[in-house]
Structure 1
Amino acid sequence: MSRHGAPADGARRIPVTVLGDDPLTRAGLIAHLRSGPDVDLRAAHPGEDHRPGVAVVAADRVDRAAIGRLTALSSGWTVVLIVAHLREPELLRALDAGVPAILLRHEVTPDRLLRAVRAAARHDRDLPSGAVGQLVDAVVRLRRAGPAGPDDERPPSPRELDVLRLLAEGLETREVAARLSFSERTVKNVLAGVTARYGLRNRTHAVAHALREGYL
């Protein structure tokens, strides 16, 4: 990007689509994104565009329906989620659905939104400071908790550790699969085995467990 904020010659613009049930919210987000010279706003039908890009999703709450939608979107697009409130269980569900960037609605400004979109395009994480604190608290609680059962004494296999290590680095399921030359189904099966054996809830919980036990 040039010193004036315009993309450098030949630089790739980021395809971005904005999704949400509230037309007023969508219009406001689109207006914010128009200030980004590296943003290529697309129609609100990401499934029809086969180029990888970013889907900005505004949701009132992270319920089961929202998680299903986020999971489906994350299979093809990188998601920036915008919500009014975010408790720890909702944060963990959103991360487990493959969402790398989350903004609280009251924090949304043009600069903040563009920063989240650019981070998502790089497959980096961008979370509110409070959400980071929630994750730290979750890890601390896991470290203080006793083992959930006798199977906890059996360490993860080398393949399981490879998957958990890449997840701890912030990679998504499809990126882990590509890095290890696995199919996405294999990675999901490995995670399912780890979570079932240790009585864990999701992949975020699995990574926290591996850190607590000193495996990573």
Structure 2
Amino acid sequence: MNLDNIFPLIVPRSYYTEGAWELPHQQFNNKEFLLTWVFFNSPGAMTYINKNEFSELNENNNGWQQKAFENLRHSITNKENFFTHEGTMRDGKGKKFLVFMHSDGIGSSRILLSHELSKAFPEGYYVAFPDRSCGLVMSSAVSGDELKEIKQLINNMYKNATTAMSGQLYTSGNFLLPAEWLLPMDEDFSNTLIDKARKAIGV
């Protein structure tokens, strides 16, 4: 089992079916979604972890969940960054938000990288994942018309999604995970990601 090929993935709670597809998972505070893991054994070939693989990982690979998140941090091409896009409200004067639409197709997973995101957004942040391929993060200081606008944007993306996930905007506390899973194994690389995110949003 190649640990370089395992990645975390958010899935709807409905994916787990007792007696049929008992998908190994971690429960979030938000009960509508689960964290599971997938293998990318070749580009575009994603397979969900099964019960036997999950058992083997737990028995033989201490800290494999941390490795999965480290793989996610490093799964960027030469043309990509920690985030792939940055945006502002329509007038261009509002608070900026970060978008994750990476070529690996699991941009939604990046809303879980709280070690970096909590430092880029020290005031707190909202998350959204209208499509499995797309995650979005924005400051929790956003309110009023700006908040309404971003909610409409997310809902529109959800309606046009290829693999629809959710049309809602959530507080980051909905998706907390054990802190040790999210600690970077390469702190210098993590700090680079944080610096680029902070610069993009003007912190």
Q: TM-score, normalised by structure 1?
A: 0.28
Which entry has the higher C-alpha Rg, 1 or 2? 1
Higher helix residue share: 1
Q: TM-score, normalised by structure 2?
A: 0.29
Structure with more relative contact order (C-alpha pairs < 8 Å, separation 6 or more): 2
Higher strand residue share: 2
